[in-house]
Each structure stands twice: as structure tokens, then as C-alpha cells.
């Protein structure tokens, strides 16, 4: 497999660490699969922890003599690997995640032909999925363990879960305790390095199976609920999202940026994009006051006074109406202050610019009117 470089490992950690690319490079395929299933080790926590763990992983991948000697000393001192809170947490998260995905990915009866109920498949596979997650995390690195103890423990808790004496999380905890007690051991033998193609194939199949369960959930079971309580399948809502005015406006803006870039270049397009994002908040303030760009300070002040009178909270009686009016009143006041501040800065900048041009003109002409009238001090 060749010696691994720590700089390459950190580069892959930075660019593809959330998908476990650095772990795949170091030959830690199970670790990579966990990072794929729990993006970055539970939304970045594991990825951040790898920042100071990568040097040890590189030494382990290169079979560094000093590292192996330290590992051998640990194995002599302790018959079983010491308890690790990080590994315990990983087993808990991975076991629960696989159990949830299996349950979600089974199509409900409404989506099946003739209303076939497949919920029993999820019930039957949930303990196996939980045990698989526990086993996967427990076999990362120089530790190993059999899948049989957690599998038996997970299935043993099924009656308790269905009778209501235990929650689904208890199944995962039972599986972890069985693994820690009966299965956890050192990986003393040096494992044979698999061929790259075989490694890629196995990870692709496992990752594809996991992704297909999520895809099945989104296609068959996922529902979007509006604030009015309307419910629609996600697969139908996607087409409505694409046709929605917001998405159409977004596509139109992207098309305009693309056309502008082809005609005027990248930097001009970047400036246009920055302006469209309204970094000063000017466009939003104009929208709040219902004004056009280029409005004078007098127009802005007049509009502010008009809207302030209209939305003053004292003019409303109901609690909800008064709260809404107060929110609107504050928004109008902030918009006015923002526009006034922007106008003031621009006027000051223009004035300084005009003064600078006047001084430059005077210098070029060898003096200005009134300069000769100044008395000469002796």
C-alpha cells in the first residue's frame, strides 16, 4: 500500500474529511464508512477531533516501530482494550442511525401495491442494523470484536421495546454493553492489505445501500407539512419547489450573472454578485420604506414619518396586532436610520472628493483665487 504522508492525510482531511477520504487513504475503511454515514463523525465533531489524531493514524498506517512498540506495551499491560468514551459514543450514534434509516427506508402500506404492509420488515431488521453499527465502530483501528454478542443482545430487547418497558435506545445500549463485555479485544494479528479495487467495491456497495435507504425514505415516506396543516409527499413537493417563484427568480439571476460574466469578465460579475447580495442592507431598507433607489433624504424622511404614524403601536388595541405593529415600527425605524447613515457617508465622501479635486486643480494652475490675498509673514 506504500508509506503514507502526513501532509497528504491533512490535505484530504481538509478537502474530503467529512466523507472520510483521509481515513480511506490511511487504510481505515471502516472509519471512512462511519464518517460517510455520520457526515464528519456526527456533523463535524469527529472530523474536528481528527485534527490532532491524524499523526497517530499515519504512524499506525506506516507500522512505525516506535508506535508498534507502544501498542505492544499496552497489549501486555491490559488484556482487553481500555474503555473509550469516544468509541462508546460512536457505537451509540452509529447503532441508532442504522436502526432509524432501516425503519424509515421501508415503504409504508399506502405506497405499496394492494396496500401490502412491510412494517414488519423494519421491525425484524432494526436489531440487526443496530448490531451492525455497533460492530462497525468497535472494529475500527487496532480493536476488534464479534458481531454475535451485540446481535443477540439487540434481539433480546425486542419484546421489552414492543411491550413498552424499554425505549428503542435501550436496544442500542444493550448491544454496546454486550460488545464491550463479551466481544471487545485487541487486533493482535497484522491484517492483510486488500487490493484497492476490492476496497473501493466494498465501500461503494455499503455506502450505496445506506444511501438507497435514505432515497427510499425520501421517495416513499417523507412528507412536507405546511403551516396550514396540508401534507404532501416530498417527491411531489420537489416539482412544485422547482416551479416556485423563488426558484425561478434564483435561476433567472444565475442566468443574468452568467451572461454578464461572458460579456464583462469574472471580476465585474463578482462585483455584481456582491451588490445583489445587498451587503449594506440598502435594498432591503428601501423595500421596507417602499422607496426607489436614488431617493433624496427629504423623500426618505417624509416616507419614514408617514409609515411611523401608520404603524405606531399605540394605534392598535389587540395584543397580537400591537405586537405586529411594534415589530413593523422597529423595522421602519431601523430602515430609516440605515438609509440616512448611508446617505450621510456618501455625501461626506463626495465632499472630500470634491475638495481634493479642487486642491489638485489649484496646484496645477500655480495658485487659486484668494491665495494672493493672504498676507506674507516676515
The pLDDT, as a whole number, for residue 372 is 43
pLDDT value of position 258: 86
* pLDDT under 70: residue ranges of the chain: 1, 114, 190-191, 354, 356-378
**Within 13 Å, how many C-alpha atoms sit on residue 227's CB side?**
0
Q: Given the DSSP bridges, would you call strands 231-233 and 185-186 parallel, antiparallel or unpaired?
A: unpaired
Taking only the tens place, the pLDDT of each residue in 85-121 is 999 999 999 999 999 999 999 988 777 776 777 888 8
Which residues neighbour 65 within 8 Å (Cβ) at sequence distance 6 or greater?
none
- Which listed CATH number (1.10.10.10, 1.10.287.110, 3.30.70.1280, 3.40.50.2300) goes with 281-353? 1.10.287.110
Task: Give which of 95, 269, 245 is closest to 177, Cα–Cα.
Answer: 95
8-state DSSP, 17 = G
Domain spans of the chain, in order of start: 6-224, 281-353
| CA 173 to each of CA 33, 120, 141, 146, 255: distance values in angstroms, whole numbers, following the listed order | 21, 22, 22, 16, 52
What pLDDT does 104 receive? 92
Q: Residue 375 has what pLDDT?
A: 44
- The pTM for the full model equals 0.70
Residue 131 CB partners (closer than 8 Å, separation 6+): 95, 147, 150, 151, 153, 154, 175
Span 2-54, pLDDT tens digits: 799 999 999 999 999 999 999 999 999 999 999 999 999 988 999 999 999 99
User: Is the CB of residue 131 less than 8 Å from the CB of residue 175?
Assistant: yes
pLDDT at 225: 86
Amino acid at each position: 500500500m506504500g508509506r503514507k504522508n502526513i501532509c497528504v492525510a491533512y490535505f484530504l482531511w481538509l478537502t474530503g474529511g467529512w466523507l472520510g477520504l483521509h481515513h480511506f487513504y490511511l487504510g481505515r475503511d471502516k472509519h471512512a464508512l462511519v464518517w460517510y454515514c455520520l457526515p464528519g463523525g456526527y456533523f463535524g465533531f469527529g472530523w474536528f477531533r481528527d485534527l490532532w489524531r491524524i499523526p497517530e493514524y499515519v504512524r499506525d498506517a506506516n507500522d512505525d516501530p516506535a508506535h508498534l512498540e507502544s501498542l505492544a506495551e499496552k497489549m501486555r499491560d491490559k488484556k482487553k482494550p481500555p474503555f473509550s468514551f469516544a468509541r462508546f459514543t460512536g457505537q451509540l450514534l452509529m447503532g441508532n442511525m442504522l436502526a432509524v434509516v432501516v425503519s424509515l427506508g421501508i415503504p409504508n402500506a399506502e405506497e405499496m401495491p394492494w396496500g401490502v404492509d412491510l412494517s414488519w420488515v423494519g421491525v425484524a431488521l432494526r436489531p440487526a442494523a443496530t448490531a451492525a453499527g455497533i460492530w462497525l465502530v468497535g472494529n475500527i483501528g487496532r480493536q476488534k470484536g464479534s458481531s454475535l454478542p451485540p446481535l443477540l443482545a439487540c434481539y433480546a430487547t425486542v419484546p421489552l421495546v414492543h411491550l413498552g418497558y424499554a425505549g428503542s435506545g435501550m436496544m442500542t445500549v444493550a448491544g454496546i454493553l454486550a460488545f464491550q463485555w463479551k466481544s471487545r479485544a485487541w487486533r493482535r494479528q497484522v491484517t492483510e492489505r486488500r487490493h484497492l479495487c476490492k476496497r473501493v467495491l466494498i465501500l461503494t456497495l455499503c455506502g450505496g445501500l445506506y444511501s438507497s435507504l435514505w432515497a427510499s425514505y425520501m421517495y416513499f415516506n417523507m412528507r412536507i407539512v405546511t403551516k396550514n396543516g396540508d401534507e404532501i409527499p416530498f417527491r411531489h413537493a420537489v416539482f412544485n419547489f422547482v416551479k416556485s417563484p423563488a426558484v425561478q427568480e434564483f435561476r433567472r439571476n444565475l442566468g443574468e450573472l452568467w451572461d454578464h460574466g461572458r460579456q464583462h469578465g469574472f471580476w465585474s460579475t463578482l462585483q455584481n454578485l456582491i451588490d445583489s447580495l445587498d451587503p449594506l442592507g440598502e435594498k432591503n431598507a428601501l423595500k421596507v420604506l417602499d422607496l426607489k433607489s436614488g431617493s433624496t433624504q427629504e423623500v426618505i424622511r417624509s416616507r419614514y414619518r408617514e409609515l411611523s404614524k401608520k404603524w405606531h403601536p399605540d394605534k392598535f388595541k389587540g395584543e397580537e396586532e400591537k405586537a405586529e405593529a411594534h415589530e413593523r415600527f422597529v423595522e421602519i425605524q431601523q430602515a430609516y436610520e440605515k438609509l440616512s447613515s448611508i446617505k450621510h457617508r456618501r455625501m461626506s465622501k463626495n465632499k472630500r472628493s470634491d475638495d481634493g479635486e479642487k486642491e489638485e486643480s489649484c496646484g496645477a494652475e500655480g495658485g487659486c483665487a484668494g491665495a494672493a490675498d493672504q498676507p506674507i509673514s516676515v
